[in-house]
Structure 1
Amino acid sequence: MERILLKDYGIEPNTGKDCSAVFQKIFTGHPRNAVFILEPGRYEFRAEEAMSRDYYLSNSDICNPRRLAVRMFQMENIIIEGTNCRFICHGQVMPFTLEACRNITLKGISLDWEIPLSAEGEIVKTGENFIDVKIDREHFPYEVTDNILYFMGKGWKEPVWQWGNTEFDVHTRRVAQHSGDTFPPTRQEELADGLVRFYGTFPIMPKIGNYLVLRHGKRIHAAVFMKDCMNITLENITIYHSGGLGLLAQFCENLTFRGIQMRPSFGEGRKFLSGHDDGIHLTGNRGQVIVEGCYFQGLMDDCLNLHGVAARIKKIENSHTVIGEFVHEQSKGFEDWAQTGHEISFLKKGNMRRLACLETDCFRLLSPDMFRISFREGIPEETEIGDSLENMTCTAGLICRNNFFGNGRARGILFTTPRPVIIENNVFESSGAAVLIAGDASCWYESGGCKDVEIRNNYFGDSCLTSSYLGGEAVISIHPEVEKPEKEHPFHTNIRIKENTFHICDAPVLYAKSTDGLSFMGNRVIRSYTSEPWNEQKSMVCLDTCGEADIRNNLFIGDILSREVERKERENEEAGGCYP
Structure 2
Amino acid sequence: MDISPTIIRLADFGGRPNSGEDAAAAMRGALEAASVIEGPVVLACEQGLYDFYPEQAARAKYYISNTASEEENPDVTRTIGILLHGIRNMMLDGNGSLFVFHGKQTMIVIDSCEQIAIRNLRMDFAYPTVVEMTVEAIGVNCLDMAVHPDSRYEIVSGALYWFGEGWRFRDGPMQEHDTLTDTTWRTGNLSASAVRVEERGPGKLRLFYEAWCMPTTSVGRVFQARDGIRDQVGAFIVQSSKIAWSDVGVHFMHGLGLVCQFSEDISFERMELAPRPETGRTVAAFADCIHVSGCRGVVRVADSRFVGAHDDAINVHGTYMRVAGLPAADEVLLRFMHPQTYGFPAFFPGDRIAFVRAGTLTSFAEAVVSEAELLEPRVMRVKLDRDAPQDIRSDDVAENVTWAPEVEIVRNQMSRIPTRGVLVTTSRRALIEENRFERITMSAVLVAGDAGSWYESGRVNNLTIRGNSFFECGEADHAVIAISPENTEPSFVHAHIKIEDNQFEMRATPVLDARYTRDLTFVNNRIALHGQAREAGAAIRLLGCDEVSLSCNHYI
- Name the SS of the counterpart of 2:49 in structure 1: strand
Contact 2:480 2:509 in 1 (8 A): no
- Name the SS of the counterpart of 1:103 in structure 2: strand
Structure 1 residue 321 displacement after superposition = 1.2
For 1:157 and 1:224, locate their aligned partners in 2 and report how far apart those are by CA, in whole Å.
22
Structure 1 residue 534 displacement after superposition = 10
Task: Figure out how many residues of one structure are paired with residues of the other and give that number.
Answer: 538
Q: Structure 1 unaligned runs (5+)?
A: 558-580
Structure 1 residue 197 displacement after superposition = 1.2
For 1:135 and 1:84, locate their aligned partners in 2 and report how far apart those are by CA, in whole Å.
30
For 1:196 and 1:310, locate their aligned partners in 2 and report how far apart those are by CA, in whole Å.
47
**In the superposition, relative to structure 1, how do residues 340 and 300 fare at CA in structure 2: closer, same or farther (>3 Å)?**
same
Deviates more, 1:495-504 or 1:547-556: 547-556
For 2:207 and 2:277, locate their aligned partners in 1 and report how far apart those are by CA, in whole Å.
25
Q: Which residue of 2 is the match for residue 420 of structure 1?
A: 429
Q: Which residue of 2 is the match for residue 36 of structure 1?
A: 43
Aligned positions of 1:168-179 closer than 5 A: 168-175=177-184
1:123 to 115, 120, 135: 135
Q: Which residue of 1 is the match for residue 245 of structure 2?
A: 234
Contact 2:240 2:263 in 1 (8 A): yes
Q: Render the CA deviation track for 1:51-105: whole Å, top value 9, x for unaligned.
A: 2111111111244211011100000000011222111011011111110000000
For 2:407 and 2:208, locate their aligned partners in 1 and report how far apart those are by CA, in whole Å.
43
Q: Which residue of 2 is the match for residue 110 of structure 1?
A: 122
- Name the SS of the counterpart of 1:79 in structure 2: strand
Aligned positions of 1:398-477 closer than 5 A: 398-429=407-438, 430-462=440-472, 464-466=473-475, 473-477=478-482
Contact 1:144 1:188 in 2 (8 A): no
1:54 maps to a residue whose letter is: K
Q: Which residue of 2 is the match for residue 518 of structure 1?
A: 520
For 2:499 and 2:182, locate their aligned partners in 1 and report how far apart those are by CA, in whole Å.
29
- Name the SS of the counterpart of 2:419 in structure 1: coil
Contact 1:277 1:301 in 2 (8 A): yes
Aligned positions of 1:353-432 closer than 5 A: 353-429=362-438, 430-432=440-442
Structure 1 residue 202 displacement after superposition = 5.5
Contact 1:245 1:277 in 2 (8 A): yes
Q: Render the CA deviation track for 1:444-484: whole Å, top value 9, x for unaligned.
A: 1110010000100110012x114x7xxx5310001111122
Deviates more, 1:184-193 or 1:548-557: 184-193
**In the superposition, relative to structure 1, how do residues 22 and 268 fare at CA in structure 2: closer, same or farther (>3 Å)?**
same
Q: Are positions 1:325 and 2:324 aligned together?
A: no
Identity over aligned pairs, percent? 29
Q: Which residue of 2 is the match for residue 544 of structure 1?
A: 543
Contact 1:148 1:160 in 2 (8 A): no
Q: Which residue of 2 is the match for residue 16 of structure 1?
A: 20
2:490 maps to a residue whose letter is: P
1:10 maps to a residue whose letter is: G
For 2:300 and 2:493, locate their aligned partners in 1 and report how far apart those are by CA, in whole Å.
25
Contact 2:82 2:109 in 1 (8 A): yes
Contact 1:289 1:399 in 2 (8 A): yes
Structure 1 residue 362 displacement after superposition = 1.0
Deviates more, 1:89-98 or 1:309-318: 309-318
1:298 maps to a residue whose letter is: G
Q: Are positions 1:94 and 2:101 aligned together?
A: no
2:55 maps to a residue whose letter is: E
Aligned positions of 1:152-231 closer than 5 A: 152-161=163-172, 163=173, 165-175=174-184, 180-181=186-187, 186-187=193-194, 189-192=196-199, 193=201, 194-197=204-207, 199=209, 205-231=216-242
- Name the SS of the counterpart of 1:548 in structure 2: strand
For 1:198 and 1:544, locate their aligned partners in 2 and report how far apart those are by CA, in whole Å.
47
For 1:202 and 1:426, locate their aligned partners in 2 and report how far apart those are by CA, in whole Å.
40
Q: Which residue of 2 is the match for residue 562 of structure 1?
A: none
**In the superposition, relative to structure 1, how do residues 269 and 507 fare at CA in structure 2: closer, same or farther (>3 Å)?**
closer
1:404 maps to a residue whose letter is: Q
For 2:50 and 2:326, locate their aligned partners in 1 and report how far apart those are by CA, in whole Å.
53
Q: Render the CA deviation track for 1:190-246: whole Å, top value 9, x for unaligned.
A: 222420416476697111221111223521222221100000000011111011122
Q: TM-score, normalised by structure 2?
A: 0.93
1:15 maps to a residue whose letter is: S
For 1:534 and 1:275, locate their aligned partners in 2 and report how far apart those are by CA, in whole Å.
35
**In the superposition, relative to structure 1, how do residues 534 and 321 fare at CA in structure 2: closer, same or farther (>3 Å)?**
farther
Contact 1:109 1:237 in 2 (8 A): yes
Aligned positions of 1:137-148 closer than 5 A: 138-146=149-157, 148=159
Q: Structure 2 unaligned runs (5+)?
A: none
2:322 maps to a residue whose letter is: R
Structure 1 residue 39 displacement after superposition = 1.0
For 1:133 and 1:198, locate their aligned partners in 2 and report how far apart those are by CA, in whole Å.
11
Aligned positions of 1:296-335 closer than 5 A: 296-335=306-345
Deviates more, 1:352-361 or 1:250-259: 352-361
Contact 2:414 2:436 in 1 (8 A): yes
2:385 maps to a residue whose letter is: R
**In the superposition, relative to structure 1, how do residues 377 and 263 fare at CA in structure 2: closer, same or farther (>3 Å)?**
same
1:103 maps to a residue whose letter is: Q
Structure 1 residue 145 displacement after superposition = 2.7
Q: Render the CA deviation track for 1:406-444: whole Å, top value 9, x for unaligned.
A: 122111110100010011111011122100011111111
Structure 1 residue 160 displacement after superposition = 3.2
Q: Which residue of 1 is the match for residue 348 of structure 2?
A: 339
For 1:437 and 1:366, locate their aligned partners in 2 and report how far apart those are by CA, in whole Å.
32
1:542 maps to a residue whose letter is: R
1:231 maps to a residue whose letter is: K
**In the superposition, relative to structure 1, how do residues 528 and 3 fare at CA in structure 2: closer, same or farther (>3 Å)?**
farther
Deviates more, 1:5-14 or 1:182-191: 182-191
For 1:78 and 1:124, locate their aligned partners in 2 and report how far apart those are by CA, in whole Å.
49
Contact 1:158 1:217 in 2 (8 A): no
For 1:273 and 1:90, locate their aligned partners in 2 and report how far apart those are by CA, in whole Å.
17
2:109 maps to a residue whose letter is: T
- Name the SS of the counterpart of 1:455 in structure 2: strand
Q: Render the CA deviation track for 1:508-544: whole Å, top value 9, x for unaligned.
A: 0000111111110111111234xx4499x72111111
- Name the SS of the counterpart of 2:380 in structure 1: strand
Contact 1:434 1:475 in 2 (8 A): yes
Structure 1 residue 153 displacement after superposition = 1.8
Contact 2:103 2:164 in 1 (8 A): yes
- Name the SS of the counterpart of 2:244 in structure 1: strand
Contact 2:13 2:29 in 1 (8 A): no
Q: Which residue of 2 is the match for residue 243 of structure 1?
A: 254
Q: Please report the RMSD computed on the Cα atoms of aligned residues, expressed in angstroms.
A: 2.0
Q: Render the CA deviation track for 1:304-350: whole Å, top value 9, x for unaligned.
A: 00000111111222321111111111111112x11111001101121
Aligned positions of 1:497-516 closer than 5 A: 497-516=499-518
Q: Are positions 1:82 and 2:94 aligned together?
A: yes
- Name the SS of the counterpart of 1:24 in structure 2: helix
Contact 2:63 2:342 in 1 (8 A): yes
Q: Which residue of 2 is the match for residue 69 of structure 1?
A: 81
Contact 1:76 1:104 in 2 (8 A): yes
1:406 maps to a residue whose letter is: S
